[in-house]
Amino acid sequence: MADPASYRPQTGEIPTNPGVYRFRDPHGRVIYVGKAKNLRSRLNSYFANPAGLLPKTYAMVHTASSVEWTVVGSELESLQLEYTWIKEFKPRFNVMFRDDKSYPYLAVSMAEKYPRVQVLRGDRRKGTRYFGPYTAGAIRDTMDTLLRVFPVRSCSAGVLKRAEASGRPCLLGYIDKCAAPCVGRISTEDHRALAEDFCTFMGGEAKPFVSRLEKDMAAAVAELDYERAARIRDDIVALKKVFERNAVVLAEGTDADVFALHEDELEAAVQVFHVRGGRIRGQRGWVVEKVEDTTTPDLVEHLLQQVYGEEAGLEGRLPREVLVPVEPSNAAELGPWLSGLRGARVDIRVPRRGDKAALLSTVRDNAEHALKLHKSRRAGDLTMRSQALQELQEALELPVALLRIECFDISHVQGTNVVGSMVVVEDGLPKKSDYRKFSVTGAAANDDTAAMHDVLTRRFRNYLQEQSVQADAARQPGHQAMLNAVADAAVAGTASTTVADTTTPAPRTKFAYPPNLVVVDGGKPQVNAAARALAELGIEDVYVVGLAKRLEEVWLPDSDFPVILPRASAGLYLLQRIRDEAHRFAISFHRQKRGKAMTVSALDGVPGLGESKRKALLAQFGSVKSIKTASIEELTDAKGIGPSLAAAIVRHFTDDDGAAATVPAINMTTGEILET
């Protein structure tokens, strides 16, 4: 029997959303399907104390070898998806709900003269519309609530005949939960229309009915009929409570494959729900590596080609609709290709609204959770981190363990606002407190290699300076005496005695620790520039590599050929994550610097004009162009702008335009503008 601890997911990996979970055995067969309002709480209950579980549950968790889950939008959706998958997989440990009799449906018998609302189980009847399934308790509450708003007949055929014969309605007619068509309170046509409204509401069209009731409530309030308004208010609350958008079960005739993506710069998680007959019959998911410059439409195109191109005999299995998040690159060719595989028309659509769009959103949520789970397991797994560091050390033939890795990247737009970034990884985990950013100016900003050389030079020059400061502090008189006093206090058992050096300030050590490995974003030129910077400073025992983004090649200094790591290796994945983090950090700093440069105003050079007064001027005039043409009298209308400051503004723009300054004289005591 398997040990549940061997496949137990980390608590932080499990979402707290409603959903459905599946336990699988070592052969991949689903042995149990369950639903939960909170997936994290429910799944943790299986692993917290397996010895305290019921015998059947104990056997299930020890038979299983893995657990997976699907996120949905509500408890109702989880019930319906659980039902569908129990019918689909027939898990050996699901006993209660293996046949239709355990799942009640809300049914409307539209084939009868007076349509009847009732709870049905088992085989479906012709001429009857079904909604559900529901839990046994919830369906009674739902039906009772809806009959207040839609008083459709719910009595049996015998009760109906007795009411017609006696001319008196049953109890439901007296308490206004039945329109009583049996005694002529409502016509046959109007009662059928009421039943149609009931079906329309249950089919997902709730807004018209809620809007109508809200108008009736407002009219009752206007007439000061507050009792009626309160009853309508309660009806509105009841309808909103009953109605839950069903993003899992679509119309019965719906056959579709629903694809969704969640991606970052390196990878994309793909999820697909296979909907047949309006119900999800299967789910698949992948995490794929992205090639540089691959757009989302390209990714969708390749995804459809691989999913359907590798499967043979798709006639009758390929659905009528393929729902995707964005239109693929060559949708005009993909549609006929899929139609040829199916032998009938296949539509590729991007749903914008309605149930299909809601289902696509649910699939997208699952893709997002899948990518987070994938990354957290790779980055947080101690075994994976150790394997990645060891693979890198062996592939690069380094004699030292990679305890600290620093990665550098350069970011700019056509040579402007050039910046560099440094990110740090220790023991395979980011150390954000040691991240650093550099502004690159002058000749170093001319090209990427010069910028990389400048950044590396500054980083390790600072390291050497800090090492020198620490060495000088260690050589100062009293330093060794202080260390000896601390040691003597510890030996004497008075280690709590504080021995402080009050004369020597503690040095700021921003770059105190050198890395074992320097990674630069780029190929051979960037690597050689970084190695040259270290050599010029006399830095030894710090190794340099570069990761070229296009083919993910690892370059070494003065090497004519790159080191090729396997695409699926943990070492390459670690390098990619470090490079990606350095790129993200550089981009954010570049955008910040570029934003500041773009917001530099022509008003910045005016003496005495601060931030708040600049904002006041722009609020008053709307643009710098209007401020330039404004007179002193107009400028003083702005909040905080006096005559002298207004004159300085006019003088500033006049001088900037190269024209003669014709600024009137001002009485500085009274602020009066004098004649010139």
Predicted confidence (pLDDT) per residue in 423-442, tens digit:
998 878 788 888 888 888 88
Q: At residue 656, does pLDDT exceed 70?
A: no
**What residues pair up with 23 in beta bridges, in sequence order?**
32, 67
| pLDDT greater at residue 23 or residue 362 | 23
| pLDDT score recorded for residue 383 | 66
User: For residue 292, what pLDDT band results from cuts at 50, 70 and 90?
Assistant: low
Q: Are strands 416-426 and 404-413 parallel, antiparallel or unpaired?
A: antiparallel
Secondary structure of residue 443 in the 3-state scheme: helix
Domains of the chain: 4-98 (3.40.1440.10), 103-206 (no CATH), 256-377 (3.30.420), 398-476+507-577 (3.30.420.340), 601-676 (1.10.150.20)
Kindly report, residue by residue over 495-540, the tens digit of the pLDDT: 444 444 444 444 455 666 788 899 998 888 889 999 999 999 888 8
For residues 627-649, give the mean pLDDT.
86
Q: Report which secondary-structure segment, H or E, holds 20.
A: strand 19-24
**Who contacts 3 (Cβ-Cβ below 8 Å, separation ≥6)?**
62
pTM: 0.45
**Who contacts 263 (Cβ-Cβ below 8 Å, separation ≥6)?**
269, 290, 296, 299, 371
Q: At residue 21, does pLDDT exceed 90?
A: yes
| pLDDT greater at residue 227 or residue 676 | 227
CB 103 within 8 A of CB 97: yes
Instruction: Spell out the SS3 assignment of 579-646.
Output: HHHHHHHHHHHHHHHHHHHHCCCCCCCCCCCCHHHHHHHHHHHCCHHHHHCCCHHHHCCCCCCCHHHH
Secondary structure of residue 62 in the 3-state scheme: helix
**Mean pLDDT in the chain?**
78
Percentage, residues of the chain above pLDDT 70: 79
| pLDDT score recorded for residue 501 | 43
User: For residue 72, what pLDDT band results from cuts at 50, 70 and 90?
Assistant: confident
The first and second tokens of residue 447, run together, are 């090209």
Q: Report which secondary-structure segment, H or E, holds 289.
A: strand 279-289
Nearest C-alpha neighbor of 221 from the set 236, 207, 208: 236
| pLDDT score recorded for residue 186 | 87
| pLDDT score recorded for residue 22 | 92
| pLDDT score recorded for residue 147 | 81
The first and second tokens of residue 98, run together, are 């293996």
Nearest C-alpha neighbor of 455 from the set 518, 543, 541: 518
| CA–CA distance, 253 with 385 (Å, rounded to integer) | 49
Location of structure tokens 């429910």:
42
CB 313 within 8 A of CB 279: no
Kindly report, residue by residue over 375-422, the tens digit of the pLDDT: 766 665 566 777 788 888 888 888 888 888 999 988 887 777 788 899
Count of C-beta atoms within a 10 Å radius of residue 238? 18
Residue length, the chain?
676
The DSSP 8-state label assigned to residue 673 in this structure reads B
User: For residue 246, what pLDDT band results from cuts at 50, 70 and 90?
Assistant: very low
Count of C-beta atoms within a 10 Å radius of residue 648? 18
Q: At residue 561, does pLDDT exceed 60?
A: yes
* Amino acid type, 291: V
**Who contacts 192 (Cβ-Cβ below 8 Å, separation ≥6)?**
110, 114, 115
| CA–CA distance, 481 with 483 (Å, rounded to integer) | 5
**What residues pair up with 71 in beta bridges, in sequence order?**
19
Kindly report, residue by residue over 134-175, the tens digit of the pLDDT: 655 556 767 777 787 788 888 888 888 888 888 888 888 888
Nearest C-alpha neighbor of 38 from the set 59, 11, 61, 63: 11
Query: What ranges in 325-447 are assigned the alpha helix state H?
Result: 331-342, 355-380, 382-395
For residues 439-460, give the mean pLDDT.
86
Q: At residue 551, does pLDDT exceed 80?
A: no
**Who contacts 62 (Cβ-Cβ below 8 Å, separation ≥6)?**
1, 2, 3, 4, 50
Q: What is the dihedral of CA 592, 596, 598, 601, to 10 degrees?
A: 170
**Who contacts 2 (Cβ-Cβ below 8 Å, separation ≥6)?**
26, 62, 63, 64, 65
CB 434 within 8 A of CB 404: no
| pLDDT greater at residue 123 or residue 663 | 123
Q: At residue 577, does pLDDT exceed 60?
A: yes
For residues 628-650, give the mean pLDDT.
86
**What residues pair up with 548 in beta bridges, in sequence order?**
553
CA 478 to chain centre: 57
| CA–CA distance, 620 with 626 (Å, rounded to integer) | 10
| pLDDT score recorded for residue 290 | 66
For residues 577-597, give the mean pLDDT.
82
For residues 41-68, give the mean pLDDT.
86
Nearest C-alpha neighbor of 285 from the set 269, 262, 300: 269
| pLDDT score recorded for residue 597 | 64
